[in-house]
Structure 1
Amino acid sequence: MPSLLRNGQIEQDSWLPPTEALAPGHLATVSQYVEASEKPTAVQIEPGEGIADVLENLDSLELVAVNFPAFMDGRGFSYARELRERGYTGELRAVGAFIRDQLHYLSRCGFNAFQMDGESALEAAKASLNDFSEHYQAAIDKPQPLFKRRAG
């Protein structure tokens, strides 16, 4: 079983990547999710697919994984923010080719789990979640900007 960083801890993952046919224990692709009569509880979103197809069943999803095929592809940041703003409270996982320097910002957008391309970097990735102690901007993790948090 592969390891990942979930809620600040390194853990074993019980979910497997999507396959061509919907299989137990595997994440569903968005198209598999849409076509399934009984909706899977875990889905992986690819860049360009958007989140519209999963919005009506957010309560029944325990895991939404967002794939980052390249560290320069920032669409997943927007998907995470929108899912959290629309009330998704389950595990929101970044998978793929993001880099350690992005983890802190990914967590600010709402991701709480990270499955990196290389498991050897998980300890350093765990430390990077605390790279910054304060932020000027509002985000999912702190909805008010710094000046409003200090004003009271």
Structure 2
Amino acid sequence: MAEIIRNGAIHADDWEVLRLEEGQDPAAVDVPAGRRIVPLAVWRAQREALAARAEAGVLGVWLAGDEDPAELAGDFTRLALIAVDFPKFADGRGYSIATLLRSRLGYGGELRAIGNVLRDQFFFYARCGFDVFQPPSGRYSAEQLRAALASLRDFSEPYQGAVDREPLFRRAQRGAPA
């Protein structure tokens, strides 16, 4: 079973990400039983058929970098989680999607980073609102994941504002000018 980092701790994970083959019809895909995270295209095509599984807490949806997170706004209460795919290191659109989900769309459920999730980016994923980091299976040993957890505390007081806190100038207590 793969391991993930959820809310600052390492956990075993029983969710599986469903990925489509090129040219595969989302309406015809069989979604196996169990905890599954399906692409937005499958959710769009099979929403009614998958709704009961979503409401039972065993179905989530993942977004690619070019998909609009607002499409899921009406389904926030149905979905157990929303995941955002990071297909490669150089693709940072997932950070924007997470920020939109948390700040503008008000999503309060589990937000998971999937795909090419790298330990040196964990701090930045958290700043954008991700609470679960799912690195590729077998990429990191348990010892490396523990070290990655410690790295989440490398920066004690970030200056910039983000989903997780206001910018420092708004948080600083200043006395009256002399």
Match of 1:47 among 45, 48, 65: 65
Residue 145 of structure 1 pairs with residue 139 of structure 2: no
Query: Do 1:64 and 1:91's aligned partners in 2 also have CA atoms closer than 8 Å?
Result: yes
Secondary structure of the corresponding residue to residue 111 of structure 2: strand
Distance between the aligned counterparts of 1:6 and 1:65, measured in 2? Answer: 13
1:66 to partner: Cα distance:
0.9
Residue 90 of structure 1 pairs with residue 85 of structure 2: no
Secondary structure of the corresponding residue to residue 62 of structure 2: strand
Distance between the aligned counterparts of 2:134 and 2:80, measured in 1? Answer: 16
Alignment deviations for residues 51-73 of structure 1 (CA, whole Å, 9 cap, x no partner): 13211111222211111111111
Secondary structure of the corresponding residue to residue 59 of structure 1: coil
Larger radius of gyration: 2
Please tell me the root mean square deviation across aligned C-alpha atoms, in Å: 1.6
State the AA in 2 paired with 1:150: A
- Corresponding residue for 1:128? 151
Residue 16 of structure 1 pairs with residue 16 of structure 2: yes
- Corresponding residue for 2:3? 3
Distance between the aligned counterparts of 2:36 and 2:118, measured in 1? Answer: 24
Match of 1:79 among 97, 106, 118: 97
Distance between the aligned counterparts of 2:106 and 2:84, measured in 1? Answer: 17
Q: Which has the higher contact order (CA 8 A, sep 6+)?
A: 1
Residue 119 of structure 1 pairs with residue 129 of structure 2: no
Query: Do 1:18 and 1:44's aligned partners in 2 also have CA atoms closer than 8 Å?
Result: no
State the AA in 2 paired with 1:124: A
Which structure 1 residue ranges, 5 or more long, are not aligned? Answer: none
Higher mean alpha-carbon deviation, 90-99 vs 18-27, is at 18-27
State the AA in 1 paired with 2:76: L
How many equivalent pairs are there?
A: 151
Alignment deviations for residues 71-104 of structure 1 (CA, whole Å, 9 cap, x no partner): 1110000111111112111111111213222110
Distance between the aligned counterparts of 2:66 and 2:32, measured in 1? Answer: 24
Distance between the aligned counterparts of 1:61 and 1:130, measured in 2? Answer: 30
